[in-house]
Each structure stands twice: as structure tokens, then as C-alpha cells.
């Protein structure tokens, strides 16, 4: 697949259709049973529990120097036979050519949380959202109140996967919590949409109101010349003012920038999860994204965290990171609506498109008070004719769910570990869970890289979709 695009042949589609028919006749009963056992009891400390249609086939524990509880595993990007996984202290490149036997190819120590990653060809982009003494990988923490403190995007050349090479760095306002890769239509440049937030009047490089994103232009043939080319203001009216409160009480985070943006370049669309609201963008002009519609949910959404389109670009799943990701938001007391996903249909055309709420989805298993759990990062599973997503829920594990009917989403598979520490809450669990070339890859904050195999008739056709590159925040279109 070219960046952001998947291709499949007519023959593969025909084979997939035949396979689906045959498999459905032999496994439909197993698939139904799996759907019925998704509300299983919480397993014991570090015990594994799952529905019958999904299993773990590999785990690579965190290795030194990333093997401490403070070295949190973060997001994943894929290129060819490799998975690149961020960590608060740097990043790791895995060879996943044999999914049941992944291998660490290299580890790069480069502190600067969160170190979310995206890839384009031989380039890796790394987000730094903690104030550092400089832009090098030898930096140390430095207060954001000091003008010469640094936060932003680092660029690496990863042509040699065993020896990644630092290329350049670009400072951005309020740093880079996450980054979204958007290829230019002429393929001469790639753009990075940088999401950041939490301004403070005492921070020289992160001043209120910060109702903007930063756009970095990276010349493909000269990445060292990457630079900020725009800082569009998304909320000229100030955005959602928020509702004060502290978890577990209801609250709404005020809008001051975005937490995450997911682009759908082929559709010239992007969806922004911007703290107090969800946003739909027109990105036909890559340097000048335009807000089409915004939506709020001051009753049930505390923190608009991330977004995923369906393949047709007619729906968006937004996540609510109630409690900031470190809280037990999947308990019986919190319930099934707060800390969930919101499923929205995109209605209308052109500039009259709107986000219309349809339903909430949350995992049906109650978690303990020592398990941080809430909706987090996921991706589509590229099946034909249905909208199915795999998603991380921190210590709530990995959930596979179907939102083809926007108003009636349903879980079809799950996999989880019991509490990382049954005696106290330690931040852990699956940060990101994505489908890539036949398998699910989960970045566990404390346990390293998990590889899962899904065996369900409803997702069988996904095996026929192959990608050469995959950044989950830059969705591609697959044929179906």
C-alpha cells in the first residue's frame, strides 16, 4: 500500500467471498458463542481471559532500558515487516515478519513522553510533549516556564532499521502530544498535524488560549528542512468552556487545542478529538484545514480523545478518555456510558456535513478499582461490507466490536489480562491495539508487545488486505 492507501485485486476479492461463504457455514456457531461470552468475569492478577475466537500468539516483554514501570509503552506505526512502538523513553523497532515470533531489531533511547510515532517511507516522526533542556536524545527535563525549554517533533531516518539516524527537530507551541501524518497530493511532501494542549500563562512557548494546531511541512527529499508552515486557529470563539469537576464526578475538559486528529486523506477529511468537542475538517488544502462541523456532549463526554472513520467515511467513532487514562473508569459505579465511545454518522454533503450522534459503546466487562480502564486507541479491521474495529481499553484489554449498525454496536471478541497489580493501581494495559496484515498488535504499557490472532467468520475477509505502511491516525481506503 502507498501511504494511506490499500490495494487488492479482483481475484483476491473473489477468493475472499468464496472463503467467507465456506467459513460461515463451518464457524458461524463458534462466532455466535464467542459473541455471547464477551461479558466474562474479570481474571485474576496478570491472568489472561478471552473470548473463544481470539488468542495470544506472542509477547515480547519490555527490555532494558525500557523495562521500568515509568517507561510506558505507547503508540504503534507499521512499515513493511516492521512495527515501531513508542515509549516514554524512546522507541523500539520490531521485526514482525513472523507474527508468532517477533524480534526486537533496535531500541532508541530518546526520553520525551509520549513519543507517539508515525512513519513515511524511511522517515519516523516522534512526538515530544514533556518540556526538555534541548531537542537531542540526551536532553533532561526542564521547566516549561523557561523560554529555552524545548518540545515538538523529532525526525529520524529508519532506512537501516538496526541503526536509526537522528535527522532534525521542529519546535511547536505546547509541544506535540500526538502527530498525524497527511501526505501531500503530489507526493513531494508530507505534512504533520501536531496536536497539543494545556496552555499556561507562565509558559513562554505555550500561551493561552492555544485554540490551534501546528502544521509541519516535510520535504520528502530533504527532511532536514522540515518546518512549521501554519498554525490555524480552530476555535476562534474559544471552544467549549468546560464544566469543572474531578474524576469520578462528571466534568468536561475545556477546549484548548486538540488531543488527537485522524486524517482520511483520500476523502480530504479529518476528525479531531479536541478535549471539549469533536471536530470534522475539510483538508483538501493540506496547509489550511477548514472546520466543517463541531459537536459537544457535555452530559457524558469528559475528554474527547481520539477518532476513527469507517471505510466509507460516513461515520466517526470518538473516544472519551474519562479520568485521563490513569483512572478506573470501567467500574460498575461509573457505568456503561461515561468513558465510552460515541458513534456518529456524517450526514449531509460538502460544507453542510454534520456529525449526528447515534450510540455509545463500552466494553461489557466490569473492571476492578486497581485497573485503569477507558476507551483508547484502535483501528478498523479491513473487512468487506461491515464496520468492525479493534480497540485498546488499557487494563480493560482489547475489544473487537461491530458498529455497522451505528445505533446498535456489539462486541464480537475480547482479550485481556487481569490487574497488573491487584493490590494497588499501577498504570498499565493496552495503550493501542491495531490490525495489520492479518494480526492484531497491542502495545501494553507494562508488558510489552502482544500479538493476537482473531479467528472469526465476520473478519475473515481482512486476511486478503495487505498494507505496505500503516499509520492508524492516517486512514487509508480499502476495496470492498
pLDDT tens column, 224-274: 999 999 999 999 989 999 999 999 999 999 999 999 999 999 999 999 999
pLDDT level of residue 41 (50, 70, 90 thresholds): low
**CA distance to 96, 305, 335, 417, 438, per residue, from 322 (Å):** 33, 9, 12, 21, 31
Average pLDDT (88-105) is 98
pLDDT level of residue 23 (50, 70, 90 thresholds): very low
pLDDT exceeds cutoff 50 at 403 = yes
pLDDT level of residue 18 (50, 70, 90 thresholds): very low
CB 290 within 8 Å of CB 296:
no
Query: Which of 21-30, 79-88, 184-193, 334-343 is predicted least confidently?
Result: 21-30
According to CATH, the superfamily of the domain at 47-470 is YVTN repeat-like/Quinoprotein amine dehydrogenase (2.130.10.10)
Q: Specify the pLDDT at position 295.
A: 98
pTM for the structure as a whole: 0.92
Average pLDDT (200-221) is 97
- Which residues make beta-bridge pairs with 344? 316, 357
Place of cell 506472542: 58
Q: Which one, of 285, 280, 311, lies nearest residue 296 by Cα?
A: 280
pLDDT exceeds cutoff 60 at 7 = no
pLDDT, tens digit (0-9, with 9 covering 90-100), for 350-375: 999 999 999 999 999 999 999 999 99
pLDDT exceeds cutoff 60 at 19 = no
Average pLDDT (449-475) is 97
Q: Specify the pLDDT at position 93.
A: 98
For residue 405, what is its C-alpha cell?
449498525
pLDDT exceeds cutoff 60 at 37 = no
For residue 352, what is its C-alpha cell?
453542510
Query: Which of 29-38, 72-81, 124-133, 145-154 is predicted least confidently?
Result: 29-38
Q: Specify the pLDDT at position 350.
A: 96
pLDDT level of residue 197 (50, 70, 90 thresholds): very high
**Residues in CB range of 51: below 8 A, 6 or more apart:** 34, 35, 37, 38, 40, 412, 413, 414, 415
Rounded Cα distance between 49 and 55, Å, is 9
Q: Which one, of 375, 377, 308, lies nearest residue 339 by Cα?
A: 375
CB 452 within 8 Å of CB 7:
no
Buried b / exposed e along 179-199 (16+ C-beta atoms within 10 A): bbbbbbeeeebbbbbbbbbbb
pLDDT exceeds cutoff 60 at 10 = no
Return mean pLDDT, the chain: 92
461 — phi, psi (to 5°)?
A: -65, -20
Average pLDDT (204-216) is 97
Rounded Cα distance between 171 and 188, Å, is 22
**Dihedral sign, Cα of residue 103, residue 108, residue 113, residue 116:** negative
Three-state SS at 58: strand
Query: Which of 14-28, 342-356, 357-371 is predicted least confidently?
Result: 14-28
CB 293 within 8 Å of CB 279:
yes
The C-alpha angle 84, 174, 250, rounded to 5 degrees, equals 90
The C-alpha angle 177, 340, 389, rounded to 5 degrees, equals 80
In 10 A of CB 216, how many CB atoms?
23
Amino acid at each position: 500500500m502507498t501511504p494511506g492507501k490499500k490495494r487488492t485485486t479482483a481475484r483476491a476479492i473473489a477468493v475472499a467471498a468464496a472463503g467467507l461463504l465456506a467459513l460461515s457455514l463451518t464457524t458461524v456457531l463458534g462466532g455466535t458463542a464467542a459473541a455471547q461470552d464477551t461479558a466474562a468475569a474479570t481474571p485474576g492478577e496478570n491472568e489472561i481471559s478471552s473470548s473463544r475466537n481470539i488468542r495470544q500468539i506472542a509477547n515480547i516483554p519490555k527490555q532494558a532500558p525500557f523495562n521500568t514501570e515509568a517507561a510506558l509503552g505507547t503508540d504503534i506505526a507499521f512499515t513493511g515487516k516492521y512495527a515501531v512502538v513508542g515509549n516514554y523513553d524512546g522507541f523500539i523497532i520490531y521485526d514482525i515478519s513472523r507474527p508468532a515470533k517477533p524480534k526486537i531489531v533496535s531500541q532508541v533511547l530518546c526520553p520525551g513522553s509520549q513519543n507517539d510515532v508515525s512513519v513515511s517511507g524511511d522517515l519516523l516522526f516522534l512526538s515530544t510533549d514533556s518540556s526538555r533542556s534541548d531537542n537531542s536524545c540526551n536532553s533532561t527535563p526542564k521547566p516549561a516556564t523557561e523560554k529555552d525549554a524545548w518540545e515538538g517533533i523529532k525526525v529520524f531516518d529508519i532506512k537501516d532499521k538496526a541503526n536509526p539516524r537522528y535527522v532534525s527537530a521542529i519546535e511547536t507551541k505546547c509541544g506535540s502530544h500526538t502527530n498525524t501524518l497527511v501526505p501531500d497530493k503530489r507526493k513531494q511532501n508530507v505534512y504533520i498535524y501536531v496536536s497539543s494542549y494545556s496552555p499556561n500563562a507562565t509558559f513562554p512557548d505555550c500561551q493561552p488560549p492555544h485554540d490551534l494546531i501546528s502544521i509541519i511541512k516535510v520535504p520528502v527529499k530533504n527532511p532536514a528542512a522540515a518546518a512549521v508552515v501554519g498554525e490555524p486557529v480552530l476555535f476562534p470563539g474559544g471552544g467549549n468552556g468546560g464544566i469543572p469537576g474531578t474524576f469520578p464526578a462528571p466534568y468536561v475538559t475545556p477546549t484548548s487545542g486538540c488531543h488527537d486528529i485522524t486524517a482520511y486523506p483520500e476523502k480530504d477529511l479529518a476528525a479531531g478529538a479536541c478535549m471539549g468537542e469533536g471536530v470534522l475538517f475539510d483538508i483538501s488544502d493540506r496547509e489550511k484545514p477548514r472546520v466543517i462541523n463541531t459537536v459537544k456532549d457535555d452530559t457524558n463526554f469528559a475528554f474527547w480523545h481520539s477518532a476513527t472513520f469507517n471505510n466509507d467515511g460516513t461515520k466517526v467513532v470518538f473516544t472519551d478518555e474519562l479520568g485521563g487514562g490513569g483512572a478506573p473508569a470501567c467500574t460498575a459505579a461509573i457505568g456503561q456510558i461515561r468513558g465510552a465511545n460515541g458513534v456518529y454518522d456524517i450526514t449531509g454533503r460538502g460544507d453542510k456535513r454534520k456529525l449526528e450522534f447515534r450510540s455509545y459503546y463500552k466494553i461489557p466487562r466490569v473492571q476492578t478499582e486497581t485497573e485503569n480502564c477507558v476507551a483508547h486507541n484502535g483501528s478498523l479491521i479491513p473487512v468487506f461490507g461491515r464496520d468492525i474495529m479493534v480497540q485498546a481499553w488499557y487494563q480493560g484489554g482489547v475489544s473487537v466490536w461491530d458498529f455497522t449498525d451505528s445505533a446498535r454496536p456489539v462486541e464480537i471478541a475480547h482479550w485481556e489480562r487481569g490487574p497488573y497489580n491487584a493490590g494497588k493501581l499501577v498504570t498499565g494495559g493496552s495503550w493501542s491495539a491495531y490490525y495489520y496484515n492479518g494480526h492484531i498488535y497491542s502495545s501494553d504499557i507494562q508488558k510489552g508487545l502482544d500479538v493476537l490472532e482473531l479467528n472469526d467468520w465476520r473478519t475473515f475477509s481482512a486476511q486478503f488486505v495487505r498494507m505496505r505502511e500503516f499509520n492508524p491516525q492516517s486512514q487509508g481506503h480499502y476495496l470492498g
